[in-house]
Copies of this chain bind each other. A is one copy, B any other.
């Protein structure tokens, strides 16, 4: 039996304990920060990836896959980019028994793998837009403390890369990515803010970066994705040039959209509670677990009835686990709560004889379902569960923000702070110093709370060039 540390006061310990107790990842692999995807964790990942694929393909993006190894010569072509990644890449220097002539980088991200080939694929304006994505693993030689799904050395990664006719086309693609992410986040019931990162925190090589941050308690946030506008910053060094309709030669404008297994970490962090993980049914490894309740008089009856319930639900397209193991029911309840299954169906002798099952959702709400209307009853209960989960997450999200009108209010804050900012880097750094945290950026959409009047910069007090900004402690 596992006693989870309190989520409220020992968040990181709670998070690590839930990931382990729910059997989502095994971190005993002999390379620190490279974890094993367990059978249970892989089921969640597969469901998560399916949402990403569905939403990105709905916008016309197509899957590709580029090699994992990038020659040093290609990797070094965009100067800011290599500066951003130099200290955190793995190098392959030997093949078989000999040294390689050109060392190879294990991709930390795929700009430098893809763009030499994009330069071959893009010849004419008719080849544009080029809109492709891949789901692959990336590698970072992480020197900070690693944590499952959140900060690791081999990362399950989604990356879209596009080439557009011009800057306006690229801006339009950024908008389209923001809209696609909104749909993904809805499927995961993850509230977030989309923030344009300050200049000093944009992606290495980007013109600008928009990142998605989700609150994970107190003043903490977790970045769960990002979209970048590159203008011509990569297309010039990599020679991604095309013949325009008027016959002139132009460089493509580019965008990227990145997501990772952090989304799974965020789902655990945001929805989990003192009993363990809580999965929205969209990505739950199993939506329903069926537990036969042993009966001394008629041992086979509950087992047969439970198997029938499981098989009918599978036929209706549900992901179901039939827990026929030797443990007593209490141990099973405990385990499936830890693992975050949305709905449990208990089948005892009484239920078996009455043609029913007792449904208990992950929030403890209980009631009968009839075999005759099983699929519909289960669908209704899962919808109700998902609605409650989304409402709870939304309420916690809104409660995470508070305005700070003075730098003093930032110190020791237990909220994510909304501040008025003049946009000057110096003031940004003063805000960061006062919070001992980070200026996340300026919202691309409406503020998550009504913050009052945008009157003067929280740092310098000036009324010019004002915008809202958020300041927090990123995990």
Contact = CB atoms under 8 A, between A and B. Distances in A.
B71 A117 contact: no
A93 B65 CA distance: 25
A137 interface: yes
B117 A31 contact: no
B30 A74 contact: yes
Nearest to A28: B120
Contact of A37 (B31, B65, B90, B103): B65
A46 B29 CA distance: 29
B36 A117 contact: yes
Nearest to A42: B63
Interface string A357-387: 0000000000000000000000000000000
Interface string A40-51: 001100100000
Contacts of A82: none
A69 interface: yes
Contact of A117 (B26, B39, B63, B120): B26
Given A39-B62, A67-B36, A67-B154, A28 B90 contact: no
Nearest to A106: B92
A12 interface: no
A31 B106 contact: no
Given A35-B67, A71-B30, A96 B89 contact: yes
A34 B96 contact: no
Q: Which of A71, A89, A106 has the most CB of B within 10 A?
A: A106
22 contacts: A26-B117, A29-B113, A30-B73, A30-B116, A31-B71, A34-B69, A36-B64, A36-B65, A36-B117, A37-B64, A37-B66, A39-B132, A42-B64, A42-B65, A68-B139, A68-B154, A69-B154, A86-B97, A89-B96, A90-B104, A93-B94, A95-B141
Interface of A: 26, 28-31, 34-39, 42-43, 46, 62-69, 71, 73-74, 86-97, 103-104, 106, 113, 116-117, 120, 132, 137, 139, 141, 143, 154, 156
